[in-house]
Chain A
């Protein structure tokens, strides 16, 4: 389309200040935590102390008799509900039924007049457990005779999003598996000039968001209404229709601002439990988890990846093979999709003729894993981008040059049956190399690394929206996209303002209320700018078409005589603003025009992925060889975003993602001792701080307008995370000569590697 090449933007491609910025920093922005309904009661949750146990009996009568207690919920009193949910695999009971599968699993809930009364009643619930042997690692879970977490067979959820058959509940602890192959891997390795083979580990991590999970539910004759911190309200709605056996029109999800997600807020979390509490209590019920409880609700899949990669004598990568074991915890959640995505993303941004990837997602008696920013890409890029550096070292090539030589080219069909590559990695790499002064000599104790990744992003293209132009020329956009800090409520009106030629200030957003806003599959996989953005653009154009016809009507001219100009139409000498068109059409200074758009897997979106999400990151680190402590000295990112609707927000996504990836590289890891999570609080679980960032940060955007989103835009927000853990490992190798393949690279781990190296040096 020719408009794709438009360049004289008046709102788009400008860093207009984010719409919600002032409200958020002044504490005025509304989050679920701020919402209070008339007659609202409060729930608290009793959690399992055991990793794996049979629930012999639960007696909540003493708790029920406590002052202020209204109702309680256990696995025994759910009659009338379908308690199992899951968009991928319906394996998750809203509260433990008959057995518990991880320490921290909800076993019962108490609803009371206030939060404290509910909490104080919990210890009066008498639960008798019979302990079962827990399995804590994929290795243990796959052993012959290992106890099974799930004995039942499961159906795939209706919105599972992955292609393969469901493996869960088929007599093993395998939750899901995915396999990818093309070419002839064995033959390629046999004739390779050089091969690198090793095992890599990406840790269990918690995608810390400032706002822990919170929901308020009300169940009455009109159905179920839930205020939630959920990222994908429409998908949660779907789960709720099955729990309550109600039509879609009777489940309403309302999502005000979400206080950060990073993967942790995607899909259904506490909503079925809260709704069941409200159903029992016959009152609106609020459940606000603490951060510690949120850490017992979801986490990232940790992944052990065995990988080998081969090059020919020209330094061209000819084969990659990997076997990935992901620890998905007690319930599937979104891990089957993460499993499939990790498999695809393990190939990396390289055109490789021979590929074989086998991934297994394994149930264990630990906190259920689900989405984590990057959907499996971060896990496998730790292996992939480490291995690229190892291979470069082995054949004596500069790792940056080695990447330049092997990355997929623009428009190259590097991944069979998928969309041709729509980014420019060579350009991304060059920009980052320049930013961290790759070619310049390194000071002692310092090392550099450049890494990149590619993700089949955008999830499934199913999105709709409505753009309402009012008689005064102001505009309301109805969008199902949630604002979780990424800035969607700023870029959506930017696009409509651009198309309609009206001031940005006059365009407002009505968001994420499933009873009001049209369907949007999800706000994740970096899809909003591309898909919702495109929908807003098309709905705006549809409104313009309608208003042009209305103008022809009121001016009594033929439709083809009407010319659309900025903010209105022109016909000969006559010029009408949108406000004049609408007012004259209706004969009153009121009324509106409704533009609509539906995006589906067709046309520009027929081929998946919606776009390839690509970014390149570069770091310089220094290593204190005495303590093993790593310090970040430089960080550079290049976000290959097609066109930045709002450059400042796009850069904000990149620094955020890179910081999150740095956390994994340096110190983030959930630690289990037996079946207990032992660092499940922010005192012991270390999230990145501003002071961990280097002073020298360069954020850059590559805007080749090569995406299918509005004006050639495509998504960002995840990609700058993926290569960071490997970058840190590679930079430490560059600085200190030790290769560490397990993230995080804690000071002690680095110190041990250095000690080992010294000991080997002495031996030689």
Chain B
């Protein structure tokens, strides 16, 4: 790490002002929402910005609130506040549990959910789970607001669909139905996970048939990934699905197309997808139903 190069920090009072600042500074500016990834890259001299627009001080952007059938997490809510939030723990325990194991406590105390998604680091834990949960990101620019699904906002490694003047203001996560079980597992050796795997299954009243499933694998390739084919193979009577797990894992691995890197070979990651899909499936079916 090098000393940080000189830059100016701007603290807008509103999202609108932040959007104007981003538009004004263009490529010389960048959104700052915790900096646990951004400042690291700047200290390694991999990125250079003359202006950082700090949205952590914009009032209200860190709110965590329940809506009718969803949870709305303000983009600058820190991981730590999500992990500790009674509301998240009660309504969406899988989110609190996943967040508890993001990086380390110092990162969680500073890093924010919006910053994590906006930086699009390929090993993001939240991105993988949020894609499985069907979360949507609310973006606000100078000209208005729009909403994107997770696979629409994260388009590649460190690449998002955010327009230059757009700010991610909140993540809206639909609350799972009573019949749903959600699991997030990861395998990690270094600072970032080798693999993250989220699985949401709908189980019928008997507890023996899966009526709907969504599996997402992250960290093995540039962006979290899912596969219709894999999800289809995960639906049906429990015994049948168990036999199809290998095929489902293969379909998911094909869709993810893992890369060779310091975390492991593509072959090993494909194998791990199989191991973790099975583990997630077993845990999902063994976990008790949520309280109504």
Contact = CB atoms under 8 A, between A and B. Distances in A.
B163 interface: no
A678 interface: yes
A390 B82 CA distance: 51
B105 interface: no
A711 interface: no
A166 B3 CA distance: 41
A291 B5 contact: no
Contacts of A506: none
Given A291-B1, A748-B264, A751-B268, A686 B6 contact: no
B272 interface: yes
Interface in B188-206: 189-192
A679 B264 CA distance: 13
Contact of A626 (B262, B265, B275): B275
Contacts of B6: 116, 120
A116 B4 contact: yes
B28 interface: no
Contacts of B262: 671, 678-679, 684
Interface string A718-757: 0000000000000000000000000000111001100000
A746 B189 contact: yes
Interface string A268-293: 00000000000000000000001110
Contacts of B5: 116, 119-120
Nearest to A747: B189
Contact of B190 (A678, A684, A751, A752): A684
Contacts of B192: 683
Nearest to B187: A627
A681 interface: yes
Given A678-B262, A748-B268, A751-B268, A686 B190 contact: yes
B1 to A, nearest CB: 4
Contacts of A679: 262
Interface string B264-292: 11001001100100000000000000000
Nearest to A751: B268
Nearest to B1: A290
B121 to A, nearest CB: 11
A120 B7 CA distance: 12
Interface of B: 1-6, 40, 44, 187, 189-192, 262, 264-265, 268, 271-272, 275
A116 B4 CA distance: 7
A571 B27 CA distance: 88
If over half of A's interface residues share one DSSP class (helix, strand or loop), that class is named, otherwise mixed; here it is loop
B242 to A, nearest CB: 16
A667 interface: yes
A134 B176 CA distance: 57
B190 A683 contact: yes
Interface in A114-163: 115-116, 119-120
Contact of A292 (B1, B189, B190, B268): B1
A119 B275 contact: no
22 contacts: A115-B3, A116-B3, A119-B3, A119-B5, A120-B5, A290-B2, A291-B1, A626-B275, A627-B187, A627-B275, A667-B189, A667-B190, A671-B262, A679-B262, A681-B1, A683-B40, A683-B191, A684-B190, A747-B264, A748-B264, A748-B265, A748-B268
Contacts of A629: 187, 189
A663 to B, nearest CB: 12
A29 interface: no
Nearest to A289: B1
Given A120-B6, A678-B262, A684 B1 contact: no
Q: Which 8 A-B pairs have the closest CB atoms?
A: A290-B1, A748-B268, A626-B275, A683-B191, A116-B3, A115-B3, A748-B264, A119-B3
Nearest to A689: B104
Contacts of A115: 3
B119 to A, nearest CB: 14
A290 B265 CA distance: 30
B18 to A, nearest CB: 27
A119 B2 contact: yes
Contacts of B3: 44, 115-116, 119
Contacts of A682: 191
A627 B272 contact: yes
Contacts of B264: 747-748
B282 to A, nearest CB: 12
B44 A292 contact: yes
A120 B42 CA distance: 13
How many residues of A sit at the interface, in one of the four size bands? Answer: 20 to 34
Nearest to B264: A748
Given A120-B6, A627-B275, A629-B189, 14 more contacts: A115-B3, A116-B4, A119-B2, A291-B1, A292-B1, A626-B275, A627-B187, A629-B187, A678-B262, A683-B40, A683-B191, A686-B191, A746-B189, A752-B268
A375 B268 CA distance: 35
A581 B187 CA distance: 69
A748 B187 CA distance: 12
B189 A686 contact: yes
Interface string A430-467: 00000000000000000000000000000000000000
Contact of A751 (B4, B40, B44, B271): B271
Contacts of A292: 1, 44
Interface in A661-707: 667, 671, 678-679, 681-684, 686
A631 to B, nearest CB: 12
A627 B189 CA distance: 11
A629 B186 CA distance: 13
Contacts of A751: 268, 271
A358 B189 CA distance: 36
Contacts of B271: 751
A684 B275 contact: no
Contacts of B265: 748
Contacts of A290: 1-2
Contacts of B272: 627
Contacts of B275: 626-627
Contacts of A671: 262
Contacts of B44: 292, 681
Contacts of A747: 187, 189, 264
Nearest to B5: A120
A161 B282 CA distance: 61
Contacts of A626: 275
A613 to B, nearest CB: 32
Nearest to A114: B3
Contacts of A684: 190-191, 262
Contacts of A119: 2-3, 5
A384 B272 CA distance: 33
Contacts of A291: 1
Nearest to B265: A748
A626 B195 CA distance: 14
A294 to B, nearest CB: 11
Contacts of B191: 682-684, 686
Residue among A116, A626, A627, A751 with the highest chain B CB neighbour number at 10 A: A627
Most buried by A among B5, B191, B262, B264: B262
A211 to B, nearest CB: 14
Nearest to A120: B5
Contacts of A120: 5-6
Contacts of A686: 189-191
Contacts of B40: 683
A119 to B, nearest CB: 5
Nearest to B278: A626
B9 to A, nearest CB: 15
A649 B205 CA distance: 61
Contacts of B1: 290-292, 681
A698 to B, nearest CB: 27
B6 to A, nearest CB: 7
Interface string A566-590: 0000000000000000000000000
